[in-house]
Structure 1
């Protein structure tokens, strides 16, 4: 993939880095916040950049920075489209909602959108966008120290002894940088505001209703949009689903990695012990887990210098972070296996490539603003220490990280409003698709979203491994069920299992 592939792991780090109870929150979110006068029609022009479908067009939409002050400052939102390929059969617009926070779908009409069935592309404009704060929309930047852009800082791991003191110090340093450098916009990054931006985009497109395909964090965005604007929704597909628990929001997503790793690691172990595999690490699958734990513990004690990497050493937490990233797809299993083989020899592979620092800074700032702006985090080290200790004992592979503090523990701005509670109120037009073994958005969390939607949704559970199910890491049965819904509106009468 492009630079977006390189920042994917940073984006995932942002998505799943959060911690416990709500602090003070404001008034409940209401759809009326967007009643600020209709946006002007979009002025489409040729997109900048390379490798794009020549049919893709781009435009800029102005939206309020603060929906509580619609007459105040405005920010720009970059949007894109490829028009329906058969105008006389056109049904409407299909919005591609990216993961993150910190992901963009601006190029997706030219990329993943082209994997959609022909009849979907014939009948729908494919719409992408860069969410608020993310370039080339009006950007935000925290000006973090370069070392704090490491994945193990953005999604921090406890010290080898379980201490979180260093994590709390890092949280204060990073939050202070965001307060100094993030400007007013850093205070106005939230899932609810992204949903409001989407409704402004719908109106600017001239659509009474909009369909959507949301992936990963985009499932929560799609769910919030469907809750705030239920009668503006047409066909909604939510793929690789976040737990919508309004008491924890992103803290719950981070905690979900405990189960996600337990669900997925056995698949890696079986692959990593398979005869004939050039990246084989053990003779039997049962040997892979203890080998990983031994290597991580040894690297905790004796890190190996890793020139060009950030941080510049292979330590136990870097190995654990690589494990987490590599379990996102079976295609990336070799990355972990090769690092384990190198660590056994006391060596390191070439340092992984890194995107430009300005891209890392922008993605990290958007992730921080949304995760910390959606819900309050506890500020006491003691609460994290307790949770980390429990997590380390029950889930040694993740070593307490899913219950740890990130920069939200020191975030200076309380949430501006309460998180949206997803309910069954609204039309029954939502289809969830979910792999059984998903390290980032485990099946347990997806079931919580299915339960919250009630009669509005049905869920397709796919017997497959990896994050992103539809047209990616799922199976033919799941793909066909989703494609049929997007193409015809035909949806299973009840939840289904795709073996």
Structure 2
């Protein structure tokens, strides 16, 4: 999801609604819910087995293209925690041991603090590359003290990869991106969503129902045990914060330290339908920030000196691409998707602005490079990530099963937030036609003394995980402290260019130190305008990137 902060982003993360939870989904949710006692016993059994087996670290899978310095192993977990002796799957784990070298004094050895386990979000993103952040200056002190551990969650290749369709069919042709779609267009997209949901059910079979956030949290407990850690030190970003919150609710006595970076609203009534509409509304504000930045640099990009003029030029580009896709691959939807990524990360702003400017001036190549076709390998990875994202969110909670509900809520929202609203609908609409039973979201809440103090990090104008989610989580986890990057909107703030944020992160992870009360940091500087030169920063790794 960005160059400076550490996540993978696999398309939109969430959607959210302004209305009450759909009544038609209630019985379905109840049917998919169990008391959890069997799963709790199964988790204990799996954790005991994992602790006894440990992890045999060796060479990483070649397909993951990881450096030789990184070591990988596998952890076996039950597909269904209610039946720990039934089918099992293997999760791939990566690790770089703590360097134990003080960055400020190479002759001094730093005491080790065990493993720091990281989840980058999505759902559907892999954390296997995470240990590489130890090479980044902002992470040197943390990498000295901790073994940096990443993993591919269940369903994410190579951990029992999930697939909803042939990757060859996942390639998206140039599409329109209507902000006021016609009835015929809605009908066509609804049919596609239903077919996609059917494909998930047919390709995954009975296993599909076991890909959800509660099982992801249980998997994390088994990974902890396999690493030989008595208590877990964990950092979750984006969707990873929801995973961490569930872990804190299920296994509070197993928590050592937790960092929540860019927080999903964990209110059970928000998971996931309402959260996604909240996201669409927030992206409208972030799109406005980006347009204002482009307008302030009209001398560089020539796209207009007001946000309104920039909007007109964006719409002009969309009309041209609808008439003739750039390079035969980039239509209005691909343009919108490319600019949506700029809503996640400020580092994309100069590159996206330059590509839009160049296209309108007659040079489509930068836009084609940034928004065009993927390689076969990239397409397979994107299909897998999309499958996991869909399965987890659809399985996690009730969704409206009547398209009329989606149509009503999003038509209303699109009047004031047209930029992402309908694109977010098409991403999540398979959940309206989902065949697997639904879980009932946990009411995450810990009282005084039940959980060690935790650190919450958030950017005030984050669109992917709106700031209200951080406030909600802080109120639910007793003893948590919130550090806010004021006026900033980059999704994921840990380990980026903000020294104030990083100071709080280091103090907490290295010494357990937290501010006495909520704190704030001045925003990072806005990016400098510059033409495209060299490769566009990739979001998969911090300074080196799913939900």
Q: Output the TM-score relative to the length of structure 1.
A: 0.87
- Whether contact under 8 Å (2:122, 2:239) holds in the other structure is yes
Cα displacement (A) at 1:294 = 6.0
Question: 2:199 aligned to 177, 191, 197, which one?
Answer: 177
- Whether contact under 8 Å (2:120, 2:240) holds in the other structure is yes
Asked if residue 44 in structure 1 is aligned to residue 61 in structure 2, the reply is no
- Whether contact under 8 Å (2:342, 2:352) holds in the other structure is yes
Asked if residue 305 in structure 1 is aligned to residue 325 in structure 2, the reply is yes
For residues 140-289 of structure 1, the aligned pairs below 5 Å read 140-144=162-166, 146=168, 148=170, 150=172, 160-161=181-182, 164-275=186-297, 278-289=300-311
What secondary structure is seen at the aligned counterpart in 1 of 2:242?
Answer: helix
- Whether contact under 8 Å (2:110, 2:144) holds in the other structure is no
Deviations 1:349-392 (CA, angstroms, capped at 9, x unpaired): 32524142322221121111111111122121110110111111
For residues 361-400 of structure 1, the aligned pairs below 5 Å read 361-400=383-422
Q: CA RMSD in A?
A: 3.0
Aligned match of 1:413: 436
What secondary structure is seen at the aligned counterpart in 2 of 1:80?
Answer: strand
For residues 307-346 of structure 1, the aligned pairs below 5 Å read 307-309=327-329, 313-315=330-332, 317-341=333-357, 344=360
Cα displacement (A) at 1:335 = 4.4
Query: Following the alignment from structure 1 to structure 2, what is the Cα–Cα distance between the partners of residues 113 and 380?
Result: 49
Aligned match of 2:474: 450
Cα displacement (A) at 1:144 = 4.6
Structure 2 runs not aligned, ≥5 long:
101-108, 523-547
Aligned match of 2:85: 71
Query: Following the alignment from structure 1 to structure 2, what is the Cα–Cα distance between the partners of residues 452 and 113?
Result: 35
What secondary structure is seen at the aligned counterpart in 2 of 1:75?
Answer: strand
Query: Following the alignment from structure 1 to structure 2, what is the Cα–Cα distance between the partners of residues 277 and 406?
Result: 41
Cα displacement (A) at 1:344 = 4.3
- Whether contact under 8 Å (1:45, 1:58) holds in the other structure is yes
Cα displacement (A) at 1:117 = 3.8
The structure showing larger relative contact order (alpha-carbon pairs under 8 Å, at least 6 residues apart) is: 2
- Whether contact under 8 Å (1:92, 1:210) holds in the other structure is no
Query: Following the alignment from structure 2 to structure 1, what is the Cα–Cα distance between the partners of residues 469 and 425?
Result: 16
- Whether contact under 8 Å (1:29, 1:420) holds in the other structure is no
Query: Following the alignment from structure 1 to structure 2, what is the Cα–Cα distance between the partners of residues 42 and 428?
Result: 27
Query: Following the alignment from structure 2 to structure 1, what is the Cα–Cα distance between the partners of residues 316 and 187?
Result: 24
Larger deviation, residues 221-230 vs 48-57: 48-57
Cα displacement (A) at 1:399 = 4.6
Query: Following the alignment from structure 2 to structure 1, what is the Cα–Cα distance between the partners of residues 178 and 215?
Result: 30
- Whether contact under 8 Å (1:104, 1:130) holds in the other structure is yes
Cα displacement (A) at 1:347 = 7.1
Cα displacement (A) at 1:410 = 0.8
Query: Following the alignment from structure 1 to structure 2, what is the Cα–Cα distance between the partners of residues 145 and 53?
Result: 26
- Whether contact under 8 Å (1:391, 1:400) holds in the other structure is no
- Whether contact under 8 Å (2:262, 2:491) holds in the other structure is yes
Q: Output the TM-score relative to the length of structure 2.
A: 0.80
Residue 421 and residue 191 in structure 1: after superposition, are their counterparts in 2 closer, same or farther (change >3 A)? same
Residue 8 and residue 144 in structure 1: after superposition, are their counterparts in 2 closer, same or farther (change >3 A)? farther
Deviations 1:57-110 (CA, angstroms, capped at 9, x unpaired): 211111100001111000011011122223871222110112111111112112
Deviations 1:164-185 (CA, angstroms, capped at 9, x unpaired): 3222111111011111112333
Query: Following the alignment from structure 2 to structure 1, what is the Cα–Cα distance between the partners of residues 280 and 469?
Result: 12
- Whether contact under 8 Å (1:78, 1:130) holds in the other structure is yes
